[in-house]
Structure 1
Amino acid sequence: MYDMGTRERALALISQGHSLNSVSGQTGVSRAALRSWRERKEPLRSSGLPCPRCEETPRPPEDRAAYAYLLGLYLGDGCISQGPRGVHSLRIACADSWPGLVELCAEAVQRLRPDNRVCRVRSQGCQYVTCFSKHWPCLFPQHGPGRKHERRIVLEPWQREIVDARPWGFVRGLIHSDGCRMTNWTTRLVGGEPKRYEYPRYFFTNVSDDIRKLYTDTLDALGVEWRQANARNVSVARKASVALMDVHVGPKY
């Protein structure tokens, strides 16, 4: 007998394309059991918590703070994969360098689907915060075939209401996925001698024009000055704007 956490971790590895031999070696589960789980007809578990988007009158998730943050993480480093019988897995890639980020991500996922188990699947240099549910495509309608930067990314009206109500959570999720706080430097001549100056700045990097625009539109609404550093990078370097970002976002940890 295997516990539910072992089953979920094994199925997460399988959904990522690992062979049964590889998953068996990593988890200690027999290939016969893995094959049975992969081909089972019933969902891994059924959640007693209804999906707010599937009710007769669809409504936004109640925990708007968790949703705004997780939406930012999903648009940056998340994906949704379809499994057996309509069960989907949400996976958010988190670098091992930021253990605090892993905890925040797992907490946000659990707050959205409290009746579903959240597991972590280790990979080279990172771990995937993973959760199975039939309702992830309902909660993240940006899910679709192909890569996010190759398809149109537009928020639904109910998502826009959440982002407007919790803009800093959304920005924080985007920075925690595809952004960073770094120290930049430059030199100036002072009395004829070059002097080095260092200053903090925030970078956000994403190849999707739509996702970058969601980020910059939210910054505009918050009064944060930014500039397009290049085709993929958005920079926040003005002192007052960096100070504002430090209060509400801060560096990853």
Structure 2
Amino acid sequence: MLCRKGVYQLSLSCGDNWPGLIAEAADVMAAVMPTSSVSRRRKNGCTEVKSHSKHWVCLFPQHGPGRKHLRKIALEDWQRKIVEMHPGRFARGLMHSDGYRGTNRVRRHFNGSDHWYEYPRYLFGNESKDILELCGEVLDLLGVEWRYSRYNTISVARRGAVERLDEFVGPKY
């Protein structure tokens, strides 16, 4: 979030493969900050959706100098209450920003031959330990079974857990 003369710019870079998410990002920005205009600027492979307001920093007190994985990211009490009231929306935002839903293909060698099987799974990757913990907390609130598949990646792979998370995340469009 850039600041010039006390006015903050909230900027989201959205991949052009997901035009529905670009539209939704613009709609949400306009709904949250109705007195500020929202603009879109095409870039190479993505569209920047942005809005200017003195008040964006009030809604995102986690904003600060430096890389987010090198500083503390924690929800304020009022933010935590909102997440507890709407954990599915928070999970959806996390997965649509830094997550992936795809098919995992596994090859097993059994009785002298190769067997392949596949299953859907979610992966959420982030270098910020704090953001990973927030993702784990919201998955717990939703009753979604998860684990770390790497130090910076959360995996949701059990059938019931993927089906449960599908109820909230939905497809990117």
Match of 2:55 in 1: 135
TM-score, scaled to structure 2: 0.95
Greater radius of gyration (CA): 1
Aligned residues: 173
1:102 equivalent in alignment to 2:22: yes
Match of 1:227 in 2: 147
Counterpart-to-counterpart distance in 1, 2:104 and 2:26: 31
Match of 2:3 in 1: 82
1:120 equivalent in alignment to 2:40: yes
CA RMSD of aligned residues (A): 1.3
TM-score, scaled to structure 1: 0.66
Structure 2 unpaired stretches of 5+: none
Compare the two structures and name the one with the higher helix fraction: 1
SS at match of 1:229: strand
Match of 2:160 in 1: 240
SS at match of 2:95: helix
Work out which of the residue numbers 93, 99, 106 in structure 2 matches 1:173.
93
Counterpart-to-counterpart distance in 1, 2:158 and 2:62: 32
Counterpart-to-counterpart distance in 1, 2:51 and 2:92: 21
Q: How does 1:47-62 map to 2 (within 5 A)?
A: none
SS at match of 2:17: coil
Structure 1 unpaired stretches of 5+: 1-79
Compare the two structures and name the one with the higher strand fraction: 2
Displacement of 1:115 after TM fit?
A: 2.0
Counterpart-to-counterpart distance in 2, 1:142 and 1:93: 19
Question: Once superposed, which parts of structure 1, at least 4 consecutive aligned residues long, lie more than 4 Å away?
Answer: 189-192
Match of 1:15 in 2: none
Counterpart-to-counterpart distance in 2, 1:196 and 1:245: 25
